[in-house]
Amino acid sequence: MSAHGEILDQQSVRFERLLPGPIERVWSFLVEADKRAQWLCGGETELHEGGHVDLVFQNAKLSGQQDIERPEKYKDMPDKVEFTGTVTRCEPPHILAHTWDYEDTASEVCYELSEAGDQVRLVLTHTKLTGRDEMQSVCGGWHTHLDILVDVLNGNEPQPFWKVHTALEADYARRIRQEA
C-alpha cells in the first residue's frame, strides 16, 4: 500500500492507511472534536445524515516541533481557518461522509473504516475537486494529515505540518503534471 494518494480522475483522489485498532478508537479520531484536532482539525460533528460539521484548522499547531515559515502560496491564509460541511452518510464506526464547503467550492470527503486483523484500514476519498491547483493542495494536505494521524495513533510526535506539506505538495504537482 502506497502512502501516496491515488488520483482517480481530474476531480477525485483516494488515500489508504493501515492504523492501529480497534476500529472504535480510529472512529473516535474522525468524529470527536478534541481527537480530530490532534491530526486534522477541531470542530463538532453531528453524527446523522444532514448533520452539521464544523472544521477548524490550525495546521501549524499539529506538532510540537519547530515548523518552517508558512509557504508563500499560503501566506495570506489566517492561522485559524474555519468552514463547515454537511454529513451525507454516517454508519458508525465504518463510514462517515460529508461536504467540504470551503470558500466557493463544495467538495466531498468520505472516510471508510474496515477491520484488517488487529489494524484498521482507512480509505479516504475526496471528490468534486475543482482543478489542478486544488488537487495538488488537497493531495499534499491529506497525505500530511494522514501521516500525522498515524503518528498520533502510534504515540509519536508528528512532523511539522508546513515542512512536510510543502515537500509533498511539490511532489503531487509533478505527479499531476505527468498524468495530465
Helix axes 161-179, 132-153, angle to 10 degrees: 140
Torsion of CA 56, 24, 140, 162, to 10 degrees: 60
- Evaluate whether 152 touches 36 at the Cβ level (below 8 Å): no
| pLDDT on residue 114 | 98
Within 2-61, residue ranges assigned H as helices are 23-31, 33-36
Tell me the pLDDT band of 179, cut-offs 50, 70 and 90: confident
User: Can you point out the beta strands (E) in 44-174?
Assistant: 52-57, 81-91, 95-102, 105-116, 119-127
Q: How far is CA 76 from CA 34, 54, 63, in A?
A: 26, 22, 21
CATH of the domain at 136: 3.30.530.20
* Residue at 54 is within a domain: yes
| Domain that residue 54 falls in | 6-179
| pLDDT on residue 1 | 64
* Residue at 62 is within a domain: yes
The pLDDT tens digits for 99-138 are: 999 888 889 999 999 999 999 999 999 999 998 889 999 9
Given a cut of 80, whether residue 34 has pLDDT beyond it is yes
* Residue at 1 is within a domain: no
Strand partners, 99: 108
* Residue at 155 is within a domain: yes
Count of domains in the chain?
1
The pLDDT tens digits for 62-106 are: 998 878 888 888 989 898 999 999 999 999 999 999 999 988 888
* Residue at 51 is within a domain: yes
* Residue at 32 is within a domain: yes
* Residue at 172 is within a domain: yes
The reported pTM is 0.95
Task: Give the mean model confidence (pLDDT) for residues 143-159.
Answer: 97
- Distance between CA atoms of residues 4 and 6, nearest Å: 6
The pLDDT tens digits for 156-173 are: 999 999 999 999 999 999
Given a cut of 70, whether residue 180 has pLDDT beyond it is no
